[in-house]
A = this chain, B = another copy of it.
Amino acid sequence: MLITSLANDKIKKYVKLNHSKKYRDEENLFLVEGMHLVLEAYKKDMIVEVILEQNETLPLDVPKVFVAKEILEKISDCPSSQNVMALCRKKEEKIKGKRLLLLDGIQDPGNLGTIIRSAVAFGIDTIVLSEDCVDLYNPKVIRSTQGMLFHVPIVRSNLMEVIDEFQQKGYPLYATNVSYGKDARSLTFEERQKYMLCMGNEGNGVREEILDKATFYLSIPMKEEVESLNVAIATSILLYELGRTK
Contacts and interface: CB of A to CB of B under 8 A. Distances in A.
Interface of A: 110, 114, 117-118, 120-123, 144, 146, 148, 151, 185, 220-223, 225-227, 229-230, 232-233, 236-237, 240, 243-245
A226 B148 contact: yes
A47 B155 CA distance: 48
A43 B220 CA distance: 27
A181 to B, nearest CB: 15
A240 to B, nearest CB: 5
A122 B225 CA distance: 11
Given A236-B236, A236-B237, A223 B114 contact: no
Contact of A229 (B110, B121, B185, B243): B121
Contact of A240 (B220, B227, B245): B220
A230 B117 CA distance: 8
Given A229-B117, A233-B118, A236-B233, A223 B123 contact: yes
Given A237-B237, A237-B240, A240-B237, A226 B121 contact: yes
A226 to B, nearest CB: 4
B230 A230 contact: no
A230 B146 CA distance: 9
25 contacts: A110-B110, A114-B232, A114-B233, A117-B229, A117-B230, A117-B233, A118-B230, A118-B233, A120-B223, A121-B223, A121-B226, A122-B222, A123-B223, A151-B225, A220-B240, A221-B244, A221-B245, A222-B243, A229-B236, A230-B232, A232-B233, A236-B236, A236-B237, A237-B237, A240-B240
Contacts of A118: 229-230, 233
Given A118-B230, A121-B223, A232-B233, 15 more contacts: A117-B226, A118-B229, A118-B233, A120-B223, A120-B225, A120-B226, A121-B226, A121-B229, A122-B222, A123-B223, A220-B240, A221-B245, A230-B232, A232-B232, A240-B240
A240 B118 CA distance: 16
A29 to B, nearest CB: 26
A144 B222 CA distance: 18
Contacts of A229: 117-118, 121, 236
Contacts of A244: 185, 221
A86 B233 CA distance: 29
Contacts of A151: 225-226
